Amino acid sequence: MIYNSIIDTIGNTPLVRLNKLNAGIKGEILVKVEYFNPGNSMKDRMAIKMVEDAEKEGLLKPGGTIIEGTSGNTGMGLALAGIAKGYKCIFTMADKQSKEKIDILRAVGAEVIVCPTNVSPDDPRSYYSVAKKLNQDIPNSFYPNQYDNLSNWKAHYETTGPEIWRDTEGKVTHFAAGVGTGGSMSGTAKYLKEQNENVVSVGIDTYGSVFKKYKETGIFDENEVYPYLTEGIGEDILPKNVDFDMIDHFIKVTDKDAAVMTRKLSREEGLFVGWSCGSAVHGALEYARDHLKEGDQMVILLPDHGTRYLGKIYNDDWMRNHGFLEDKNYTTARNIINARSGGYSLVVVHKDTLVKDAISVMNASSVSQIPVMEDGNVVGSITDSKLLNKIIQNPNLKDAQVADVMEDSMKFVALDSTLDVLSSMVDKEKAVLVRDESHQIHIITKHDILAAITG
């Protein structure tokens, strides 16, 4: 068959049976391998749908510019659509995304702007905000906004769902997928449930994301939000494409479990897939072990290709440095925290605290740096050396509020970060923060790292 352009090859990706990783599970486990799309991910489906719907609505005109915040894969789909249809593309990305994703987008002619990860969505530096600002400033530009653009879930309702139903001959009983923007899960699940209301949908979430708790309680808990490494799933916002009525259950998966499973998929099943694919399979199999019975058939969506992660999860050094490879010789942030005696309590001050009172807290606790809090969230930090310099220059600052003198927040690190990573992130004056499984925040200083090295 001859196609008019590369975007005409999107869709109709294969279903592949798992043969090893499903050992001991009743029922059949199938994976839908989305890297067979031309942009190597499922995001091609919604990218072309958003572009074509925008054209129909007059939102995207000839010679226009597509501007989007992306973790990489949506950008690739939009870039392919842009090439085929003659649009320029500008993408904003969080700095946690892999270098391969950035390089691939630039290779297909897109402009890429890298933004900080550890800022709130409404911060003007976030990749959401930067994309919106560019859209306002650049004439004849279109901001698809994959999070809230309902063409996202409709693309999967119109293609992914029908393909699964067709290829399983209507035998599918369970559908599992990672939830990020929510389009693939919500659209596919909606179609499958319309064909058979008994189809069970399982959404895969990550620690550091709000989805699971929001589904189970209806509460958007900001304490659930903290930095994580896995790319492409989980959110600190509630995208309009996430239809919680279409998601029956949520399973959370750690960064480490996701990374380890991704490598197993490659080595044991021959599926060279991306990081969130490992999340999806680990979480889905965890659910399947307890709930699938003979005759059931689960389909797991595998979003993208492993080439996006060659410098991360497919790199032994990177995996080892983040504590994702089992090695008894590597101490992690978790080990440092667990070695502390009981009764630990992080010393903090509120942003409204007076500077002189904050100094008293630091002196009483014999600490040289403290996180600054507001409404349970870390919003900044103070260090004794910089605070001293500021007060020497302006003695009146001791009666000011901490908010007037605080510095940027200390960085959060993953719980399984090794000493190499910790030491590289602890700069000349600041410690790092880590959140344990119970969401308690801990501080790790240079002293802690030196003690772990020598102890």
Question: Residue 173 sits in which domain range?
Answer: 6-41+151-314
Same domain? 368 vs 449: yes
Same domain? 163 vs 285: yes
88-94 and 111-115 strand pairing: parallel
Last residue of a domain, one of 121, 142, 163: 142
Measure the CA angle with vertex 67, ends 63 and 73; round to 5°.
115
Same domain? 304 vs 194: yes
H/E/C letters for each residue in 252-319? EECHHHHHHHHHHHHHHHCCCECHHHHHHHHHHHHHHHHHCCCCCEEEEEECEEHHHHCCCCCCHHHH
Same domain? 412 vs 273: no
Q: Is 43 a catalytic site residue?
A: yes
CB neighbours of residue 404 within 10 Å: 10
Last residue of a domain, one of 96, 121, 142: 142
Is 132 a domain residue?
Answer: yes
Same domain? 265 vs 194: yes
Same domain? 267 vs 397: no
* DSSP 8-state code for residue 426: S
Q: What is the pTM of this model?
A: 0.79
What secondary structure does DSSP assign to 120-160, as a single string? -TTSTTSHHHHHHHHHHHSTTEE---TTT-THHHHHHHHTH
Dihedral of the CA atoms 63, 67, 73, 77 (nearest 10)? -20
Q: In total, how many domains does the chain have?
A: 3
Is 328 a domain residue?
Answer: no
Is 193 a domain residue?
Answer: yes
Is 322 a domain residue?
Answer: no
Strand extents, DSSP E, 19-170: 28-33, 65-69, 88-94, 111-115, 141-142
The CATH number given to whatever domain includes residue 174 is 3.40.50.1100
Same domain? 67 vs 14: no
Q: How distant, in Å, are the alpha carbons of 315, 375, 426 from that of 311?
A: 5, 37, 22
Same domain? 57 vs 157: no
Same domain? 203 vs 347: no
- Among 26, 32, 43, 101, the active-site one is 43
Same domain? 208 vs 129: no
Residue pLDDT tens, the chain, 455 long: 899 999 999 999 999 999 999 999 999 999 999 999 999 999 999 999 999 999 999 999 999 999 998 878 999 999 999 999 999 999 999 887 878 889 999 999 999 999 988 777 788 999 889 999 999 999 999 999 999 999 999 999 999 999 999 999 999 999 999 999 999 999 999 999 999 999 999 999 998 899 999 999 999 988 788 888 888 899 888 999 999 999 999 999 999 999 999 999 999 999 999 999 999 999 999 999 999 999 999 999 999 999 989 999 999 989 988 888 865 556 788 888 888 876 678 899 999 999 999 899 988 888 889 999 888 888 889 988 888 888 888 988 889 999 999 988 888 887 877 777 777 777 656 888 888 877 788 999 888 888 887 76
